[in-house]
Amino acid sequence: MTPRGRRGIGAGASARPPRAAARVRHPHAGPGSRAVRCAILTVSDTRGRDDDPGGDLLQRRLEQGGHTVVWRRWSRDDAPAIRRAVRSALARPEVDAVLVTGGTGIAPRDVTPEAVAPLVERWLPGFGEALRGLSWGSVGSAAWLSRAAAGVARGRLLVILPGSPDAVRLAADRLLVPELAHAARLLGRFGRGG
């Protein structure tokens, strides 16, 4: 035990991570002055406009949460193509957040993290950690194989998600929709007072 009576890091750790708090919101995480305007990029060699269950689900969840999707594209699993598409989304002044689905695993074709890394000014490691922790309940120890991440690029939130609809649903419902306005406000995307 530490001097304050709490266990130190690793002391008494179990094989299972602690349960995530049930939808606890930060006191400053209120709604923004307007909807967060999102760009969605789906990365896949097999998915496209007519067959994109993960991207379609993400768009529905965002819109149901009061946000808007102002840009939507598809890219093959190719780092230069992914980077060009993300740069294109970031170049649009109306875009507050860029959300990328797919390419976050460890297979040789999964290159989304490497593609976006040169664009990220600051990483937000808590996002990937939180998503992997929440995923533990449904996929068990395979949760650590995800390279989902978030960061700040050109003053906007940039999030990379797995392409699986289950992972997209979990991330959208438990992490993104509740905090998008808060993140956008912290990044100055709502201007003064927003």
The yes/no answer on whether domain 37-186 falls in CATH 3.40.980.10 is: yes
Q: What is the mean pLDDT of residues 86-93?
A: 98
- Candidate from 10-19, 35-44, 63-72, 140-149 with smallest mean pLDDT: 10-19
Which pLDDT does position 191 carry in this prediction?
A: 77
- Structural domain boundaries in the chain: 37-186
- Candidate from 15-19, 47-51, 158-162, 186-190 with smallest mean pLDDT: 15-19
Q: pLDDT band for position 11 (50/70/90)?
A: very low
Q: What is the mean pLDDT of residues 174-178?
A: 97
This prediction's pTM: 0.84
Q: How far is the C-alpha of 135 from the C-alpha of 147, rounded, in Å?
A: 12
Q: What is the mean pLDDT of residues 17-26?
A: 46
What is the tens place of the pLDDT at every residue in 128-138?
999 999 999 99
Which pLDDT does position 80 carry in this prediction?
A: 98
Q: pLDDT band for position 124 (50/70/90)?
A: very high
Residue 86: pLDDT above 80? yes
Neighbours of 60 (CB within 10 A): 14
Give the position of tokens 């990483």. Answer: 123
